[in-house]
Homo-oligomer: A and B are copies of this chain.
């Protein structure tokens, strides 16, 4: 049972059904009652399709990211904005920060706008674990508008996820380091987000499958800031490691700085892999081997998908996208 069936049964156009779903003042109360009766009889829940027909659309998409000054997110917002405008849509942008309360608040506020769909950029919106993921506010939001996650994954009706396969990427990167002789690989992260946890899983799987122990002392959490990372590594002189897998290029560059300060040779004494293939990765010396999680592809796929959803087409709710390891000079495999 879809909107076409409802329209036919109610003897109105699909445009009218859409307007009823949107409670438009342009439809008479009588027609509304008739259409609603048909919907109830047929157990039809007003869905994305009906809403997405866009007859009362403002052609505006809400975008929320935690922090647009972050390089990865800035690029994502840029890609999204371009692609959306190709389709004739505008963006409203909110930056929510990383705290649960603020994220919930941002979603609540943006839903008060007349948006056709909501995009959440960054895996911070995907919660922490598969079970208690703190993402119920997103599922609630999805009752009002289709929600698209970029690089996060939550299950729920009217929620769509396009995400990079970070577990696989981390597994390959760390495996490469192990196979080139590294035994004590530091996992360096600034986050417990969904994607960071996926990277951690890949890291641990690589260790296990290669018969290496998973050690708590080799998991280090730090601010994603070059000098900060350099300094905390320098402060932990007793910590021994021969490789670093960082979940962001900024932290990997901090590790390069640390190696310089300690007089360690890269990659001979210390092998380093970053993440995101950002501009930072080619600024340091030697330049970083880094995982390219194909942000542009994720963004374009999300927008293309969204347009299909808004047109009532069927799309997959979960689309994994492969990452690429960009080999430069901080690794020897």
- The chain A residues found within 8 Å of chain B, CB to CB, are 60, 67-69, 71, 74-75, 77-79, 81-82, 85, 90-95, 109, 113, 226-227, 250, 253, 257, 260, 279-280, 282-285
Contacts and interface: CB of A to CB of B under 8 A. Distances in A.
Contacts of A250: 279
Contact of A279 (B85, B95, B226): B226
A57 to B, nearest CB: 14
Contact of A69 (B67, B69, B75, B113): B75
Nearest to A77: B68
Output the residue of A68, A71, A95, A257 with the most chain B CB within 10 A: A68
Contacts of A253: 283
B226 A282 contact: yes
Contacts of A75: 69
Contacts of A260: 285
Contact of A82 (B95, B226, B257): B95
A260 B283 CA distance: 12
A66 to B, nearest CB: 10
A271 to B, nearest CB: 18
Contacts of A85: 94-95
A80 B74 CA distance: 14
Chain copies in complex: 2
Contacts of A77: 68, 74, 93
Contact of A81 (B78, B82, B93): B93
Nearest to A112: B90
Given A92-B93, A226-B283, A285-B285, 6 more contacts: A69-B78, A92-B92, A257-B285, A280-B280, A280-B283, A283-B283
**The 8 nearest A-B residue pairs measured at CB:** A74-B74, A283-B283, A69-B78, A68-B78, A69-B75, A93-B93, A285-B285, A253-B283
Contact of A74 (B71, B82, B94): B71
A31 to B, nearest CB: 23
Nearest to A58: B113
A79 B91 CA distance: 17
A71 B279 CA distance: 10
B81 A74 contact: no
A202 B82 CA distance: 35
Contacts of A113: 90
A303 to B, nearest CB: 14
A255 B80 CA distance: 32
Nearest to A296: B69
A79 B81 CA distance: 18
A277 to B, nearest CB: 13
Contacts of A78: 67-69, 74, 95
Contacts of A60: 92
